[in-house]
Amino acid sequence: MRVLCSAVSVALPSVAASGEKGPLSFHIGSCDRCRGEAASYAEMYRSLDALNDATVPAPGGLPQRVMSSLGPVAVPAPAGQRDHLVPVAAAAAIATAACGGAVLLRIYRQRAA
Amino acid sequence: MQRQPVEPLQPLDLVERAREGDRDAFGELVRIHQHGVYTLAVRLVRDRDQASDVAQDAFVRAWRAMPSFRGDAKFSTWIHRITVNTAWTHRAKQKRVRLDSLDSLVEDPESSALDPIRAGEAASAAPQIEDALMGLSDSIRAVVVLKDVYDWSHVEIADHLDISVTAAKVRLHRGRKDLRAKLAGFEDGAS
C-alpha cells in the first residue's frame, strides 16, 4: 500500500461520512483501491441511514406491561389551586416564630429570676 | 341519531394530555412509539429480552418525567434520549450480573444473551448491517448507532453515554472501520 493510500485510508471513514472528499478527491479519483474503499464506506453509510426507518417489532403486550407498571405522576397543580397555599404558609411561619419567641422569653425570664 | 365520527387524537394533543396526567393519552403514545423505542433498545443492548425491559423502563421513566417535558424537542427525540440513558443504566447493571454469572453461561451454550448473530437475526430488512453492528462492542456500537443511524451530534452522544467528546469521536472512527471490515468479511464469505 502506498503511503498516500494509507493516509487516505485513515481519513476515509470521516471523509466518506461527510460526503466532502475535499483535497483527497484527486487521489481517490485516480486510485482504484481508495475509490473502492470510499465506495464501500458510502454504501455502509447508506445502509446505516436506512436503518433509521427500519424497526424491530416490539414484543406483544409491551404497552400493557408499561401501563400496568405506571405509578402516579407528579402533576403540578394549576396556579389557581396553589394560591390558597400562600396565606397558609405565611400563617405557619408567623405561628412558628411566635412559639419560638415565647420559648426564648420564658428561658430569659427564668434566668433573670 | 347518527354518531359523529371520533376525531383521532393528534400526537401534540396526546403529549399535552399526558403531561397533565392522562394515562389514556400516555398509553396511546406508548403504542405509537413502542417499536421505535424497542428498536433503539435492541441496537444498544443486543439481547431482546433485555431490550424489552429497557423499553418498558424507559416509558415508565418518561411517564414520571412527563410534567417536565416542555415540548422544545419532539416527543420521539425525548423518549429516545430516555431510552439511551435507561439502556446504559441496564448495561451497567448487566455488567455486574455478568461477572457473577459467567459460570452459568458456560453451562448454557445455547444461551442467546450474548449471541450477536441471533440478536440481529430479526432486526430488520437489512440483516447484514444489523449483524455487523451487533458484532461491535457495546460501547463502540452505541456511538455508531447514535451517530450514523440516529444522527445525534458528538456532544449529545458524549453527554448521554457519559464520555468525553474526544472519546466519542475516537470510538466512532474505530467503530466505522470495524464495521466496514465486518461487512467486507460478509461479502467475502458470500462470494
Provide the shortest C-alpha distance from residue A92 to chain B (in Å).
29
Binary contact (B123, A56; C-beta < 8 A): yes
Main-chain phi, psi angles of B116, to 5 degrees: -65, -35
pTM score of the predicted model? 0.72
Q: What is the pLDDT of residue B59?
A: 97
pLDDT (mean) for B56-70 = 93
Percent of chain B at pLDDT above 70?
Answer: 76
Using a CB–CB cutoff of 8 Å, tell me whether B21 touches chain A.
yes
Q: What is the pLDDT of residue A110?
A: 84
**Could you tell me where the DSSP H helices lie in chain A?**
3-18, 25-30, 32-51, 62-68, 79-82, 85-112
pLDDT band at B168 (very low <50, low <70, confident <90, very high): very high
Greater confidence (B60 vs B1) lies with B60
Substitution target from A15, A52, A55 for chain B, most B beta carbons within 10 A: A55
**Residue B58 burial by Cβ neighbours in a 10 Å radius (0-12, 13-18, 19+):** buried
Q: What is the pLDDT of residues A17-51, one digit of tens each?
A: 777 767 777 888 888 988 888 889 999 999 999 99
pLDDT band at B5 (very low <50, low <70, confident <90, very high): low
Binary contact (A51, B60; C-beta < 8 A): no
User: What ipTM goes with this model?
Assistant: 0.74
Cβ distance A40 to A18 under 8 Å? Answer: no
Main-chain phi, psi angles of B136, to 5 degrees: -80, 160
Can you tell me the distance from the alpha carbon of B49 to that of A27, in angstroms, rounded to the nearest whole number?
Answer: 48
pLDDT (mean) for B29-51 = 95
Residues of B with Cβ-Cβ distance to A47 under 8 angstroms: 126, 128-129
Q: What is the pLDDT of residue B26?
A: 95
Q: What is the pLDDT of residue A86?
A: 59
Max Cα distance, chain B (Å): 69
Checking if the pLDDT of B114 tops 70, the result is no
pLDDT band at B171 (very low <50, low <70, confident <90, very high): very high
DSSP secondary structure string for all residues of chain B? -PPPPPPPPPHHHHHHHHHTT-HHHHHHHHHHHHHHHHHHHHHHH--HHHHHHHHHHHHHHHHHHGGG--SSS-HHHHHHHHHHHHHHHHHHHHHHHHHHTHHHHHH-TT--TT-HHHHHHTS-S-HHHHHHHHTS-HHHHHHHIIIIIT---HHHHHHHHT--HHHHHHHHHHHHHHHHHHHHHHHHHH-
